[in-house]
Structure 1
Amino acid sequence: MPQEFQEFAGATALVTGATAGIGRGAALRLAALGAEVVVHGRDADRGARVVAEAEATGGRARFVAADLSDPGDVLHLAEAAGAVDVLVNNAGIYRFAGAADSTAEMFDVHMAVNARAPLLLVGALVPGMAARGRGAVVNLSTLAASVPARGAAVYGASKAALELMTRVWADEFGARGVRVNAVASGPVRTPGTVKMGEKALTSVARATVLDRPAEPEEIVEAIVFLASARAGYITGAVLDVSGGRPAIG
């Protein structure tokens, strides 16, 4: 087999939100590189399709369903995943509204899925990594966590919380061999963002130096790099994969 296939040989990876978009790409890429992948999602049919795709190319994968807005379900997911070497907290929700139209429910569900679920998964799974002396966590963030985006106060705040937790966890677990990093993506062409409309996606992409939205695979490569031994001296970092920011003036 090609050496590349062995990069994650013997490792188990849990990828949340792995039935579409970036999560699906990360799950398939990790499986192709030798990891046994726990595919998380809410739809069993979509999960089965991702597992079949991974297996069709010689990878190993299994599906576990969980609603990440339910803390009990999050802990069930951690238990079902078992001992993992790589945790990719990719699942997230995004709704946009101005202050007057932002509700308590909207705030709570963003914090539950985008921040609390990663917290619970790290708390349940990373101590085991630390006990084994190895492991990697990659959290998916967004440019909107650090750059103001109209209507994205709640979404951006939930991801800003995730970025801060990333740095705290890096300190907490680093001396025991576990690295924790995040990827802050810019606009990405996924089934979810396409539903928002091509005009909206193109408008956001015009605010990047590259003047285009990313393809999921471009974000996936950053995730896989941070999860790999190639990033062995990187922890507590938020890798900006946003297409670049134009100069002012």
Structure 2
Amino acid sequence: MGSFDLAGRVALVTGATSGIGAATAALLAERGAHVLVAGRDRSRGEAVVAAIRDRGGKADFLTADLGKAESVRQLAREAGDLGGGRVDILVNNAGAFPFGPTDQTPDSDMDAVYALNVKAPFHLVAALAPAMAAHGRGAIVNVSTMVAEYGVPGMALYGSSKAALNLLTKAWAAEFGPRGVRVNAVEPGPTRTEGSAGMGDGLDAIAAQAPAGRTASAREIAEAIAYLVSDAASFVQGVVMAVDGGRTAV
């Protein structure tokens, strides 16, 4: 497998009990990483872990409510313990994506979205990146969205939170890159997951606007993430990679 091989590395994936997170956890495990599957739902998390182990991979589940700062810090500590004192790869995938008019958005939604989409990655990077830097290597990927790049009615809250994450990606690349930690992001387009199932035909309508003309599978997004955390991307730093079927290119 060469430069895509992740054998011997410990990877923490948040929001990994379903969708893109679960697909990413499975793929990183296939490539040799010890994957720490983080999420709120223990039964779903343990199912993801069991599936990875059934295929010969190594995985453990960690419960975390990433909407609370102390729970985020606790997750970082537990991940380090399970990883034998280190975490080599961090995938900040957990996120909330409520849609709706700006004037009908309650303060509680604003607080919850920014707590999960911005503050949780911030706290995890603060807790884990310095140790990566001390070892001289590490890889972080933040999962953003294509609607962080352009305005969409009803997506002001979600899009703005991910736009903040895009800037954090670049700032962290500048901060930790000189010490061997690569920080990048992916911007998925419309993707078929459990979370997007309720969008029905609306998801297909969004997908039809892109050159690819279709929705992505969670595995397709995971492939981009797996590339960015691997040595194949050793010279890729501070990039926000569109994985959207070409939507933001046209």
TM-score normalised to structure 1 length: 0.96
1:113 aligns with 2:111: no
Aligned to 1:65: 63
Structure 2, gaps ≥5 residues long: 81-85
SS at match of 1:192: coil
Q: Structure 1 counterpart of 2:217, which letter? A: E
Q: Does 1:137 align with 2:140?
A: yes
**What are the superposed Cα offsets for residues 79-129 of structure 1, whole Å, 9 maximum, x if unpaired?**
000010000000101000111111111111111000100000000001000
1:148-227 matches, within 5 Å, as 148-196=151-199, 198-227=200-229
SS of 1:236's equivalent in the other structure is coil
Does structure 1 conserve the Cα–Cα contact (< 8 Å) formed by 2:4 and 2:232? no
Check the 8 A contact 1:96/1:155 in 2, yes or no: yes
Letter in 2 for 1:117: A
Evaluate the alpha carbon distance shift between residue 209 and residue 124 of structure 1 in structure 2; reply closer, same or farther with a 3 A threshold: same
Looking at structure 1, the residues matched to 3 and 246 of structure 2 have their Cα atoms a distance apart, in angstroms, of: 31
Larger RCO (alpha carbons 8 Å, 6+ apart) = 2
Paired position in structure 2 for 1:228: 230
Q: Percent identity?
A: 49
Q: Please list, as runs of the form range in 1=range in 2, the aligned pairs for 1:37-48 lying within 5 A after superposition.
A: 37-48=35-46
Given that 1:6 and 1:34 are in contact with CA atoms closer than 8 Å, whether structure 2 keeps it comes out as no
Query: 2: distance between equivalents of 1:124 and 1:246?
Result: 33
CA distance in structure 1 between the partners assigned to 2:232 and 2:3 by the alignment: 14
Matching residue within 17, 20, 23 for 2:21: 23
Give unmatched runs, 5+ long, in structure 1: none
Task: Render the CA deviation track for 1:143-181: whole Å, top value 9, x for unaligned.
Answer: 110111120000000000000000000000011000000
* Structure 1 ranges of 4+ moved more than 6 A: none
Cα drift, residue 199 of structure 1 = 1.3
What is the aligned counterpart of 2:99 among 96, 101, 113? 96
Q: Is the 8 A contact 1:5 1:32 kept in 2?
A: no
Aligned positions, number: 245
Contact 2:146 2:248 in 1 (8 A): no
Alpha carbons of 1:163 and 1:6: their partners in 2 closer, same or farther (altered >3 Å)? closer
The whole-number CA distance in structure 2 between the counterparts of 1:67 and 1:246 is 32
Could you tell me how far 1:245 is from its partner in structure 2?
A: 2.9
CA contact (8 A) 1:5 1:33 kept: no
